[in-house]
Amino acid sequence: MTYDKKFTSEALGESYELVTHKSGLRVLVCSKDMATTYAMLGIDYGSVDTPVKMPRGLPAGNKTPLGVAHFLEHKIFEEADGTACDLRFAELGAEVNAYTSYDRTVYYISCTQRFDEALAELLRLVSALYVTRGSVARERAIITQEIRMNDDSPFERCYAELLRAMYENHRVREEICGTEASIKKITPALLKAHFEAFYRPENMVLAVSGEVTTENVMAVVDACLGDVMPTGEVAAVDVDKPQESLLPYKKYTEISMQVSKPLFCIGVKDADIPAGPQGLFRRDLAMTVLSEILFSRSGAFYNDLFEAGIITPTYSYGSAIGEGYGYFAISGEADDPKLVYEKFCAYVETVKARGLSREDFERSRRILYGDYVTGFDATEDIAQSLLTYAMDGIDLFDFIPTIQGLTLEEMSTLLHDCFIPERYVLSVVTPLES
């Protein structure tokens, strides 16, 4: 077999192969002597993607409703007779599941035996769509309940309102599931058109890790897709990124829900989003390192507020970046969210004035490096990383030179350029009045 490329990291003692099947499917395999084998199949189509031209069979000028990618994910699991396909995987001793994100849909399996058969079932799963008006109506009812569950989750709502305050137009402000109103517009014809437009091997990536060989995996792929050839008809998409202000859409948002203590999300909008895979990747790592420096549970911000009784241990922090969007966020519980916001503003200005600590920078960078290295101890993590990096357009081993190349000066520039009060947003959930 001729590999497109074999990737090797001498520092890690790890390697994987990339092969492009004649159908256009890209396949990545990392062989590991571990009990469980994972396979993850990614479709390059997510909730923020909108076709440049509507898929065939749909009236010109129609705008894709929110939630189509997620609705498709649900419908893929239904058989022609209306039953769910889970039983076939269970009979093979395999588990199957899926998720939809902003920029992709992913189906995955895990098993300890009969992997070839399970992989064949996975490839068969995404190769056909069975929809009728009745089945779409039934699924719409299920997804409606999922939407309502998300709406009933205080932390989910607090975070969702933060994104709606940050972005006026970008679809990242919308729920991946869509809304009750938007999914009413989803029809069998629309689902079929989007399935035909995006569920093509040349628009997919398969990542496998476990006690398998590339030859074994490609034999299954060839048996399932040997007669399929690229058509060049994958729908071109625009990531829905209309003109956005450099500043947040709103500075403050508040809703009331059934909570015992107020919740808060503080966001910082990053308006300097690099172009291209390498630029996005480096920015993502830089944002992650800076988040760790500023908001770690071992750091001053969390500990000072916690010891003063201002916040509870329910606390999280992080960053996110994608085509047309990027932000930092911290969230938690507090009797006085506005006091937390004031402390946040004062803390950032103090750090900017005194400068970032090299010790904190090196500590944060080591934490990320350690998480990356330990990711090779589990086939699930390996398959997920292989898929993520490949769909992002970079090599899994690009992490090492990129994280090593980050500098304290780069962190300082990001802090001063991004963390300015005009870009801050506060989202609050308050208890309902009794």
For residue 84, pLDDT over 80 is answered with no
Q: Say if CB 109 and CB 119 are below 8 A apart.
A: yes
* Tokens standing for residue 56: 């065939």
For residue 412, pLDDT over 90 is answered with yes
Cα 406 to its chain centre, rounded Å, is 23
Of the pLDDT bands very low, low, confident and very high (cuts 50, 70, 90), residue 434 is: low
CA distances (Å), origin 252, targets 17, 38, 75, 113, 266: 48, 43, 38, 53, 10
Question: Which residue, chain included where needed, has tokens 């009728």?
Answer: 132
Check residues 272 and 58 and name the one with the higher pLDDT. 272
Q: Say if CB 86 and CB 94 are below 8 A apart.
A: no
Average pLDDT score over residue span 353-368: 96
Average pLDDT score over residue span 238-261: 84
Quote the pLDDT of residue 87. Answer: 83
The predicted model scores a pTM of 0.93
pLDDT, tens digit, 9 for 90 and up, residues 369-385: 999 999 999 999 999 99
Average pLDDT score over residue span 192-208: 93
Which ranges of 270-422 would DSSP assign to H, the alpha helix?
Answer: 277-295, 300-307, 337-354, 358-374, 379-391, 399-405, 408-418
Residue-averaged pLDDT of the chain: 92
Average pLDDT score over residue span 333-346: 98
CA torsion sign for 69, 150, 429, 267 is: negative
Quote the pLDDT of residue 433. Answer: 82
pLDDT, tens digit, 9 for 90 and up, residues 299-327: 999 999 999 999 999 999 999 999 889 99
| C-alpha–C-alpha distance, residues 232 and 42, integer Å | 18
Torsional class of 167: left (φ above 0), alpha (ψ -120 to 50), beta (otherwise): beta
Question: Which residue, chain included where needed, has tokens 């939407």?
Answer: 147
For residue 120, pLDDT over 90 is answered with yes
* Tokens standing for residue 126: 């995404």
Quote the pLDDT of residue 285. Answer: 97
| C-alpha–C-alpha distance, residues 343 and 352, integer Å | 14
Share of the chain above pLDDT 70, in %: 93
Question: Which of 96-100, 233-237, 286-290 is the least confident region?
Answer: 233-237
CA–CA–CA angle 357, 361, 364 (5° rounding): 135
For residue 2, pLDDT over 60 is answered with no
In one-letter notation, the amino acid at residue 76 is I
For residue 99, pLDDT over 90 is answered with yes
For residue 329, pLDDT over 80 is answered with yes
| C-alpha–C-alpha distance, residues 118 and 242, integer Å | 41
For residue 1, pLDDT over 80 is answered with no
Average pLDDT score over residue span 394-401: 95
Quote the pLDDT of residue 271. Answer: 83
Nearest to 265 by CA among 427, 422, 421, 151: 427
| C-alpha–C-alpha distance, residues 236 and 157, integer Å | 32
| C-alpha–C-alpha distance, residues 359 and 371, integer Å | 18
Give burial (CB, 10 Å; 0-12/13-18/19+) of 434. Answer: exposed
Quote the pLDDT of residue 53. Answer: 60
Element (H, E) at 104: none
pLDDT, tens digit, 9 for 90 and up, residues 106-119: 999 999 999 999 99
For residue 218, pLDDT over 90 is answered with yes
Decide: helix, strand or coil at residue 40: strand
CATH 3.30.830.10 maps onto the chain at 5-239, 252-431
Quote the pLDDT of residue 4. Answer: 81
| C-alpha–C-alpha distance, residues 376 and 384, integer Å | 11
CA torsion sign for 242, 248, 252, 254 is: positive
Quote the pLDDT of residue 246. Answer: 86
For residue 160, pLDDT over 60 is answered with yes
Class of domain 252-431: alpha beta
* Tokens standing for residue 328: 């930092």
Quote the pLDDT of residue 79. Answer: 81
CATH for 5-239 (3.30.830.10, 3.10.129.10, 3.30.1200.10, 3.40.50.720): 3.30.830.10
Question: Which of 45-49, 146-150, 241-245, 417-421 is the least confident region?
Answer: 241-245
For residue 57, pLDDT over 60 is answered with no
For residue 60, pLDDT over 60 is answered with no
